[in-house]
């Protein structure tokens, strides 16, 4: 070996060492527990982590392994946490979905979530058992680029916002209401929250001036006072925004400032400038904000409800320009949210999203297409949501184990239908609102290219159709297009964007509309695909996808020691009797 060659080997070795040194294992010890909090100035009980609400922020770098030792300190309830947007390649048991990827963690027990974060972006985490997300179990998960790698856009600082909605009724009572006959709707949220802070029904909350209401509390040490976002003039900030709402579709605007959208659901998009952004439950965005306004003032950042008739005041946070005092309130009222039912506007926002050049393109054709009709139904007098006439009821035994070990009777072995009857009129209430409950699975062959056409329809009441943001676990999908009415392959196929569609993990269907998605079933595991509105999922609005489960590695026994997999693991034991 010449000296010169030897040096090259050396350099390569050093590079490898540097790379492996950079990828860290980040350990977290979390305890989930109920705690008192006043998210909207009204004292209530939230599900917190290590005494914090929202939970602690995770920050990691691409290639890192995140290890969360999650201890359940609740008294009688199980718990899991889903890492929303993380694909869990090779670790499908860490997806944190009760009944799907794992058994709920029992009180007193600790489960180790260990997974690699392989893509930079803005993510979040939340409970995925019953309606524990509504109870307050959520927080931020941010994946930065590796050391030395530069982002595709410049920014000087970050502001991190987790958006949510809040009810005064406990999530247990909400679950009961939604499962009752007759059905009791939980109503619109009492408050919206930004980083866990909002204000219930006060005067001067979002310009809703009403002198009979108590005054909003904008100063002082109240838990519910708007957070102050400190900025320097003439800099660029990256706002990371994730929506963990249970129900509300939101619009976010910053007084006097435009925003440049650069990332959606952990994927780069072609930058575009907007006055405000729509954000649906399950979505995340990064937007760039330039602090080019009068630095002697402060400015509202406001979120308001879209897509449902709003009965909830805006939530606020304050953009505080240095050296202006943080306690100085903005001089004019917060930006007014766009009309809740201006769906045209919502669609045009959604249609501005394109993948950044160089992003992966979708395969040109699909192997299998599911057309999933979203309907509201009645089953034995219970109000449910159904997909192709099947309302999802989760089994007791997590699918991941029961499919891998080919257990009998763990779930409905018949797959739900790939399509719905051609004569179904999506513009009218269901002619026959009866549907069935089921726990069947859509099974894909490994690396199949799957198209999903999400087809919206009229609900039980005439002249009404609702927004549903659908979230896919374990994958990103390409959003090929949106349309109105019933999807018609002959007419609509050619309009699909196969060139530069954005990749996302959550996409909305608009009232009476359809949304076309494509993804590659390349991640061995069992994955939920569901409406991210938590009450809707509770009412059955989801389906289960599975692929390559035979290729899934050794599932940690603690993930499946319940139900029939628990029995299986125990009865094969012969030494202790």
Which residue, 463 or 575, is less far from its own copies as judged by CB?
Answer: 575
Residues 164-183 that bind its own copies (CB under 8 A): 170, 172-173, 175-176, 180
Taking contact as CB under 8 A, which single stretch among the options 112-120, 130-138, 213-221, 433-441 is the one that binds its own copies? 130-138
How many residues at the interface with its own copies, by CB under 8 A? 47
Shortest distance in whole angstroms from residue 32 CB to its own copies? 12
Under a CB-based contact definition with an 8 Å cutoff, are residues 459 and 465 in contact? yes
- What does the longest C-alpha to C-alpha distance in the chain come to? 87
Q: Which of 211, 325, 463, 571 binds its own copies (CB under 8 A)?
A: 571
Residues 6+ apart with CB under 8 A from 136: 37, 39, 46, 47, 48, 53, 54, 164, 166, 196
Torsion angle defined by CA atoms of residues 340, 341, 347 and 349, in that order, rounded to the nearest 10 degrees? -20
Q: At a CB cut-off of 8 Å and minimum separation 6, what does 89 contact?
A: 116, 118, 523
| Pick 212 or 573: Cβ nearer its own copies | 573
Chain centroid, CA 134 distance in Å: 13
Among 13, 14, 45, 209, binds its own copies (CB under 8 A): 45
Give the Å distances, CA to CA, from 11 to 5, 18, 398, 544.
Answer: 10, 10, 48, 48
Among 132, 255, 267, 456, binds its own copies (CB under 8 A): 132
Tell me the two tokens of residue 305: 């409800």
- Tell me the sheet residues that pair with 519: 450
The least CB distance from residue 251 to its own copies, in Å, is 32
Task: Please report how close the Cβ of residue 199 comes to its own copies at its closest, in angstroms.
Answer: 23
Are 95 and 112 contacting, i.e. CB atoms less than 8 angstroms apart? Answer: no
Nearest approach in angstroms of CB 390 to its own copies is: 19
* Residue in 40, 64, 77, 476 binding its own copies, rule: CB under 8 A: 77
Nearest CA to 154 out of 258, 227, 238 is that of 238
By CB under 8 A, tell whether 347 contacts its own copies.
no
Residue 308 contacts residue 339 (beta carbons within 8 Å): no
Burial class, 181, CB count within 10 angstroms (exposed 0-12 / middle 13-18 / buried 19+): exposed
Considering the rule CB under 8 A, would residue 195 count as an interface residue with its own copies?
no
Contact partners, residue 6, CB within 8 Å, separation at least 6: none
Check binding of 573 to its own copies (CB under 8 A).
yes
CB atoms near residue 290 (< 10 Å): 17
Helices assigned H by DSSP within 407-470: none
Of positions 207, 295, 338, 395, contacts its own copies by CB under 8 A: 395
Smaller CB separation from its own copies, 55 or 226: 55
Q: Which range touches its own copies (CB under 8 A), out of 30-38, 87-95, 205-213, 340-348?
A: 30-38
Among 97-105, 237-245, 433-441, 506-514, which window interacts with its own copies (CB under 8 A)? 97-105
Contact 430, 476 (CB under 8 A): no
Tell whether residue 102 is a contact of its own copies (CB under 8 A): no
* Number of other CB atoms surrounding residue 545 within 10 Å: 25
Asked if 492 interacts with its own copies (CB under 8 A), we say: no
Site membership for its own copies, residue 563 (CB under 8 A):
yes
C-alpha closest to that of 295 among 256, 323, 334: 323
Indicate whether 443 belongs to the interface with its own copies (CB under 8 A): no
Nearer Cβ to its own copies, position 96 or 266? 96
8 Å CB contact between 355 and 267? yes
The CB-of-406 to its own copies minimum distance in angstroms stands at: 11
Three-class SS of 85-144: CCCCCCCHHHCCCECCCECCECCCCEEEEEEECCCCEEEEEEECCCCCCCCCCEEEEEEE
437 near its own copies, rule: CB under 8 A: no
Q: Which is nearer to its own copies, 71 or 505 (CB)?
A: 71
Smallest gap from Cβ 129 to its own copies, in A, equals: 5
40 vs 476 by CB, closer to its own copies = 40
| Among 405, 412, 460, 522, interactor with its own copies by CB under 8 A | 405
Q: Which of 521, 394, 539, 410 is nearest to 468 (CA)?
A: 539
Between 171 and 281, name the residue whose CB sits nearer to its own copies.
171
Between the CA atoms of 287, 260, 498 and 348, what dihedral angle is there, to the nearest 10 degrees? 100
Of 20, 75, 380, 408, the one binding its own copies by CB under 8 A: 75
For its own copies, the closer of residues 427 and 570 by Cβ is: 570
Contact letters (x/-) for its own copies, 530-559, by CB under 8 A?
------------------------x--xx-
Which residue among 31, 109, 118, 158 contacts its own copies (CB under 8 A)?
A: 109
Label the pairing between strands 448-455 and 368-379.
Answer: parallel
**CB under 8 A: which stretch of 7-15, 72-80, 461-469, 516-524 binds its own copies?**
72-80
Tokens of 452: 């999903």
Give yes or no for residue 104 binding its own copies (CB under 8 A): yes
Q: Which of 103, 390, 392, 426 binds its own copies (CB under 8 A)?
A: 103
| 106 counts as binding its own copies under rule CB under 8 A | yes
Smallest gap, in angstroms, from Cβ of residue 173 to its own copies?
A: 6
Identify which of residues 22 and 35 has a Cβ nearer to its own copies in the complex.
35
CB 260 within 8 A of CB 237: no
Closest contact distance (angstroms) between CB of 72 and its own copies is 9
Name the residues that contact its own copies, by CB under 8 A. Answer: 34-36, 45, 75-79, 99, 103-104, 106-109, 129-132, 170, 172-173, 175-176, 180, 395-396, 405, 554, 557-558, 561-563, 566-577
């Amino acid at each position: 070996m010449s000296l010169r060659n030897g040096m090259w080997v050396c350099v390569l070795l050093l590079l490898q060492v540097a790379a492996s040194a950079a990828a860290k294992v980040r350990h977290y010890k979390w305890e989930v527990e109920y705690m008192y909090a006043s998210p909207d100035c009204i004292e209530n009980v939230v599900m917190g982590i290590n005494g914090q609400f929202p939970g602690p922020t995770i920050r990691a770098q691409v290639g890192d392994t995140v290890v969360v030792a999650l201890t359940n300190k609740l008294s009688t309830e199980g718990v899991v946490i889903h890492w929303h947007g993380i694909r869990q390649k090779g670790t499908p048991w860490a997806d944190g979905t009760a009944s799907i990827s794992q058994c709920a963690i029992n009180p007193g027990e600790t489960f180790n979530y260990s997974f690699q974060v392989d893509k930079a972006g803005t993510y979040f985490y939340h409970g995925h058992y019953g309606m524990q997300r509504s109870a307050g179990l959520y927080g931020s998960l941010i994946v930065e680029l590796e050391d030395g790698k530069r982002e595709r856009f410049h920014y000087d600082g970050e502001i991190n916002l987790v958006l949510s909605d809040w009810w005064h009724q406990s999530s247990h009572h909400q679950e009961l209401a939604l499962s009752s006959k007759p059905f009791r709707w939980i109503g619109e949220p009492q408050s919206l929250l930004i980083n866990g802070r909002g204000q219930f029904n006060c005067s001067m909350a979002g310009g809703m001036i009403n002198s009979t209401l108590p005054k909003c509390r904008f100063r002082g040490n109240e838990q519910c006072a708007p957070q102050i976002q400190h900025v320097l003039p003439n800099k660029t900030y990256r706002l990371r925004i994730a929506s963990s709402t249970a129900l509300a579709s939101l619009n976010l605007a910053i007084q006097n400032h435009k925003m440049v959208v650069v990332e959606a659901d952990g994927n780069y998009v072609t930058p575009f400038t907007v006055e405000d952004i729509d954000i649906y439950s399950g979505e995340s965005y990064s937007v760039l904000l330039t602090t080019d306004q009068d630095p002697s003032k402060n400015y509202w950042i406001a979120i308001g409800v879209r897509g449902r008739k709003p009965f909830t005041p805006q939530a606020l946070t304050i953009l505080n320009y240095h050296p202006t005092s943080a306690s100085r309130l903005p001089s004019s009222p917060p930006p007014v949210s766009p009309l809740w039912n201006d769906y045209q506007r919502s669609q045009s926002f959604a249609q501005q999203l394109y993948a950044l050049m160089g992003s992966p393109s979708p395969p040109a054709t699909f192997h299998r297409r599911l057309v999933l009709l979203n309907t509201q139904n009645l089953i034995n007098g219970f109000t449910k949501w159904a997909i192709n006439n099947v309302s999802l009821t989760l089994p007791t035994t997590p699918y991941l184990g029961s499919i891998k070990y080919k257990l009998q009777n763990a779930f409905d072995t018949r797959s739900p239908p790939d399509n719905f009857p051609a004569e179904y009129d999506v513009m009218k209430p269901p002619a026959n609102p009866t549907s069935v409950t089921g726990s069947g699975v859509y099974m894909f062959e490994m690396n199949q290219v799957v198209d999903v056409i999400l087809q919206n329809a009229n609900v039980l009441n005439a002249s009404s159709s609702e927004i549903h943001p659908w979230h896919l676990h374990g994958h990103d999908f390409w959003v090929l297009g949106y349309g109105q009415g019933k999807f018609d392959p002959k007419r609509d196929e050619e309009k699909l964007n196969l060139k530069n569609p954005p990749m996302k993990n959550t996409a909305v269907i608009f009232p009476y509309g359809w949304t076309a998605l494509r993804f590659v079933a390349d991640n061995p595991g069992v994955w939920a695909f569901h409406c991210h509105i938590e009450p809707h999922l509770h009412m059955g609005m989801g389906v289960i996808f599975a692929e390559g489960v035979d290729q899934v590695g050794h599932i940690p026994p603690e993930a499946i020691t319940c139900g029939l997999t628990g029995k299986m693991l125990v009865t094969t034991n012969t030494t202790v009797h």
